[in-house]
């Protein structure tokens, strides 16, 4: 038996918006919507997602420029922090230097990131089961 394995991360399916959705919500849940004002401090939901994409095109474009620098789940939180600080990063070296010098709770972010991703998957399953 032969098996063909494909990497879908950006090859066939653009996962940038998925990572933004989960990463942003994780950041807000950890640090508070009243303090963190990325995307108006609003949690992303399936109900408001299209509106978010329309209203925050500039922010999403900036997110896309930072996305190639990530190495793991914790870096999605760093991108949120960079966006909040309106900090410009133009290379992997700059991103890595920022990562090594910033005050950020990588462990808590990573745990919450995977919880948020699972919570959203469950929400999506529920929505799909309710489609007639």
How many domains is the chain built from?
1
Per-residue HEC secondary structure of the chain comes to: CCCCCCCCECCCECCHHHHHHHHHHHHHHHHCCCCCCHHHHCCCCCCCHHHHHHHCHHHHHHHHHHHHHCCCCHHHHHHHHHHHHCCCCCCHHHHHHHHHHCCCCHHHHHHHHHHHHHHHHHHHHHHHHCCC
Containing structural domain, residue 34? 16-122
Is residue 117 in a domain? yes
Predicted local confidence at residue 5, as pLDDT: 59
pLDDT tens per residue across span 12-63:
667 888 999 999 999 999 988 666 678 988 899 989 999 999 999 999 999 9
Q: pLDDT (tens digit, 9 = 90+) per residue, 94-132?
A: 999 999 999 999 999 999 999 999 999 998 888 888 876
Domain annotation covers residue 11 = no
Decide if 58 is inside a domain.
yes
Kindly report the pTM of this predicted structure: 0.84
């Amino acid at each position: 038996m032969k098996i063909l394995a494909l990497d879908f991360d950006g090859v066939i399916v653009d996962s940038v918006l998925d990572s933004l959705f989960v990463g942003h919500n994780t950041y807000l849940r950890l640090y508070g919507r009243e303090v963190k004002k990325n995307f108006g401090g609003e949690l992303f939901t399936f109900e408001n997602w299209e509106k978010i994409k329309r209203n925050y095109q500039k922010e999403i474009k900036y997110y896309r420029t930072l996305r190639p620098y990530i190495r793991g789940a914790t870096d999605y939180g760093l991108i949120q922090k960079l966006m909040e600080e309106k900090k410009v990063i133009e290379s992997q070296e700059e991103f890595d230097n920022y990562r090594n010098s910033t005050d950020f709770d990588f462990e808590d972010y990573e745990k919450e990131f995977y919880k948020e991703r699972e919570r959203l998957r469950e929400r999506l399953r529920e929505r799909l089961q309710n489609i007639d």
